[in-house]
Structure 1
Amino acid sequence: MTKAIALVVAAGSGLRVGGEIPKQFLTLAGKPLLRYCLETFLSHPRVAGVRVVINPTYQALYETATTGLDLLPPVHGGQTRQESVRLGLESLADLSPHLVLIHDAARPFLDAATIDRTLDTLATHPAALVAVPVVDTLKRAAGSFSGLTVDRNGLWRAQTPQGFHYNTILSAHHAVMGRDAEMTDDAGVAEAAGIDVALVLGHEDNFKITTPADLARAERMLNPKMSQAFEYRTGNGFDVHRLIEGDGVHMCGIKIPCEWRLEGHSDADVALHALTDAVLGAISAKDIGAHFPPSDPQWKGAESWKFLAHANKLVQQRGGSITHCDITIICEKPKIGPHRDAMVTRVAEILGIERDRVSVKATTTEKLGFTGRGEGVAAQATATVALPIG
């Protein structure tokens, strides 16, 4: 049985769904949207490997979304979907795959049966297009009015994955390079290169998330408890670290260049430590020291975003989500204001939530106490968590 490589295209900005985080990294029913299709491919016995095409701007979001998954290293995409796919295909050359399945990251409801039908079709055809027949009556618009009815016989709605013999689709992409018309999918690339593409029956659930309404529909499909009530819990966290000589302070997941650093067993990110404790407190899951004891050498110098991501995962495992977090950093130095936007963005990335659900503030103690003397930095945080009842 010939195995295939899955190439998942996740290089777009995907902002039409709303917010400032690309849709493929938004949290969907407790985990990143991208992760759903990746887990489906990884669990399929006929898929030998999975590679994701990403925008390098969102490398950190990708790493957070795919933590723990046994994926091939990602490859950077291009300016268009067509270019991103071509770069992804070229990156697979050293693996010499026979078959490749190209899938949109924004389609989380891919099922194993669709993968099987696609691969079975590729046993006798060089290219396969997953699609569903059009069942609604089609109308051609005449301005703002309904015009003529369009005959729907023989019309299908294209989905992904689209499957190909690897060398065939790579050659097709090279053949259409430089043409003015941009192909919207890889079946179009194959057709433009003169390759016959066989139809494979898809599934109505395998829809592409594009709008906020699509995201809400997906949430309802994945979370049967959405019809039930949610309870909202609040947790608080507080942490302190000493300032010593160094080359920069880690704060809210970014490094502020300066002549100090925070002393601690990990990277001593006082703000993320406080927020991690706030999240853990909201779900009554002890504190950061219980999960990542400072006596354990494996956490020496560890990046604190991993602690927060772990706390977030515990929330997600209970079917919940973090709806808002508020961090207050208390210090005389370094100055927080110039870095506030970057901090908000990074915390939102780690948690997979929108930026407007993250607040970062800074204050001083008017020269009083250890923070006033510049001896250390303190942080307090509050997290609001939604958990399903029952």
Structure 2
Amino acid sequence: MSVAALIVAAGRGSRAGEGIPKQYRDLSGQQVLTRTLTRFLKHPGIGRTLVVIHPDDRDLYEASIAALAPLQSALLPCVHGGDTRQDSVRNGLEALACSAPEIVLVHDAARPLASPELIDRAIEAARRWDAAVPGTSVTDTIKVIGSQSEVVSTPDRARLRAVQTPQAFRFPTLLDAHRKAADAGIHAFTDDGALAEWAGLPVHVFEGESGNIKLTHPADFLEAERRIGGSLVALVTKLGTGFDVHAFGDGDHIWLGGIKVPHDRGVIAHSDGDVILHALTDAILGALADGDIGTHFPPSDPQWRGASSDRFLAHAVGLVRERGGLVDHLDTTLLCEKPRLGPHREAMRQRIAEIAGLRLEQVSLKATTTEKLGFTGRSEGIAAQAAATIRLPEVNP
């Protein structure tokens, strides 16, 4: 039976941090997409491979396939993705439809370690069933929570599977399901197995593999390096601290942790005055031993007047990654009488995680008053202190 692979590479990969999209980043000497494509182009069971890319990534894509010249006879011209992953997959399927394969494997570009055995199982699963996805057993206990973070239920983990790609389908079956979803105005499916379920198809699960990791966060790249067996240097932990303070002034809001918080005062500052992001920026720069926020963004420079402080934090995190390191944890304490942190804490944590390309559990945020003492106790201003833990490649003297 004819088999085609559809590689989805149109995403932005924001959780992997600032910089080029993760599918084009270096992984042990090769771009991620180059490694992913090699797995499928070399597989004897796959006749054609098509990649869906973002319209802005043409040059990055061409660079990623430059090293694949001996294998490019099976590589079809790339197509552009859509606004969502579902749209991107459908664009790829429509491009394949002019010479339709019998089986299609849909795979994420950010999973570069899929083994030949996993691809074999995917092809066999599609032959046996119309729709099948790889899954691995869940080892952690899973909780379903409600709107107030209360536990609603605890599913039996023996019946749970963590789903991966490549997902395998009879081509006409998947194309028909995508067309039905598009006709119904549904574009939000992030998983083709889920879309197939919505279309009323029985979806089977075949054995996945733990090594088929998806590169989502910076730490995933280090794990992938380890699995590839590349020259992974030792990383040394560094700790930095930061502190920032701003006086209150006229206004009706303040920026904290990247979130606009309503308040009866504003702050007096050159930028947006976000003491949480400023303290975190200084903490990371301190761990790097690379000056402070004023060194990198001088208040005397008019371009930073009113600037959004997420740029400062993203810059500091980018410096860590430029040196081959990663951010492990960010911790901040806000010092003020008002506003109260509680109603905004989780939104701030999420925003900080987004800016820094971290998981939510890598961001801690606390608050305290100073018992009416000092300028914060007199509600004259607001302050924050922060700590950052990073890891950098060990430098031998």
TM over 0.5: yes
Is 1:329 aligned to 2:334, yes or no? yes
Q: Please say if 1:372 is aligned against 2:377.
A: yes
Percent identity for Structure 1 against Structure 2: 43
Equivalent position to 1:384, from 385, 389, 392? 389
Distance in 2 separating the partners of 1:238 and 1:305 = 16
CA 1:315–1:268: 2 relative to 1, 3 Å: same
Runs of 5+ unmatched residues, structure 1: 1-5, 12-23, 53-71, 77-83, 111-130, 141-156, 187-191, 193-205
Alignment coverage as a number of residue pairs: 284
Aligned to 1:298: 303
* Equivalent residues in 2 for 1:1-390, closer than 5 Å: 8=9, 25-27=14-16, 31=17, 35-38=21-24, 50=54, 75-76=83-84, 84-86=85-87, 104-107=108-111, 159=166, 173-174=178-179, 184=193, 209=214, 217-221=223-227, 224=230, 226=232, 228-390=233-395
Structure 1 217/385 Cα, relative in aligned 2: closer, same or farther at 3 Å? closer
Q: Which residue of 2 aligns with 1:151?
A: none
CA distances 1:289-347 after superposition (whole Å, capped 9, x unpaired): 11111122222211111110110011111111111121111111211122222222221
Q: What amino acid is aligned across from residue 174 of structure 1 in structure 2?
A: R
Q: Tell me if structure 1 keeps the 8 A contact 2:33–2:110.
A: no
Q: CA deviation at 1:241?
A: 0.6
Q: Is the 8 A contact 1:32 1:352 kept in 2?
A: yes
Distance 2:180 2:82 in 1: 25
Q: In structure 2, what is the Cα distance between the partners aligned to 1:306 and 1:330?
A: 23
| Structure 2: tracts of 5 or more residues without a match | 1-6, 26-30, 35-49, 57-79, 99-105, 129-163, 185-190, 196-200, 202-210
- 1:253-289, Cα deviation, whole Å (9 max, x unpaired): 1111122222211111011101100100101111111
Deviations 1:124-155 (A, max 9, x none): xxxxxxx95569x99x9xxxxxxxxxxxxxxx
Aligned equivalent of 1:145? none
Instruction: Using structure 1 for the length normalisation, give the TM-score.
Output: 0.56
Q: Distance in 1 between matches of 2:281 and 2:228?
A: 26
How far does residue 172 in structure 1 lie from its aligned partner after superposition? 8.7
The alpha-carbon deviation at position 247 of structure 1 amounts to: 2.2
- The structural deviation recorded for 1:208 is 5.6
2:260 alignment partner, SS class:
strand
Q: Matched residues in 2 for 1:223 and 1:282: separation?
A: 28
Provide, for residues 70-89 of structure 1, a one-character-per-residue CA deviation record: whole Å limited to 9, x for no partner: xx99724xxxxxxx423776
Aligned CA distance change for structure 1 residues 248 and 174 (closer, same or farther; 3 Å): same
> Using a 3 Å threshold, how does the CA distance of structure 1 residues 222 and 358 change in structure 2: closer, same or farther?
farther
Helix, strand or coil at the partner of 2:285: helix
Residue 75 of structure 1 aligns to a residue in which SS? coil
Aligned pair in 2 of structure 1 residues 301, 324: CA closer, same or farther (>3 Å)? same
Q: 1:363 to 1:38 in 2, by over 3 A?
A: same
In the alignment, the residues of structure 2 paired with residue 311 and residue 223 of structure 1 have an alpha-carbon distance, to the nearest angstrom, of: 29
Q: SS state of the match for residue 314, structure 2? A: helix
Q: Please tell me whether the aligned partners of residues 159 and 207 of structure 1 are also in contact (alpha carbons under 8 angstroms).
A: no
- Residues 159 and 234 (structure 1 numbering): CA distance in 2 closer, same or farther, change over 3 Å? same
Structure 1 match to 2:136: none
1:51 Cα deviation from its structure 2 partner: 5.0
Give the secondary-structure state (helix, strand or coil) at the position aligned to 2:290.
coil
Secondary structure at the counterpart of residue 358 of structure 2: coil
User: In the TM superposition, what is the alpha-carbon distance from 1:349 to its structure 2 partner?
Assistant: 1.8
Q: Give the Å deviation of 1:104.
A: 2.3
Confirm or deny: 8 A CA contact 1:251 1:270 kept in the other structure: yes
CA distance in 2, matches of 1:235, 1:388: 16
Q: What is the root-mean-square deviation of aligned Cα atoms in Å?
A: 5.3
1:328–1:357 Cα change, 3 Å: same
What amino acid does structure 1 have at the position aligned with 2:284? V
- What amino acid is the match of 1:218? A
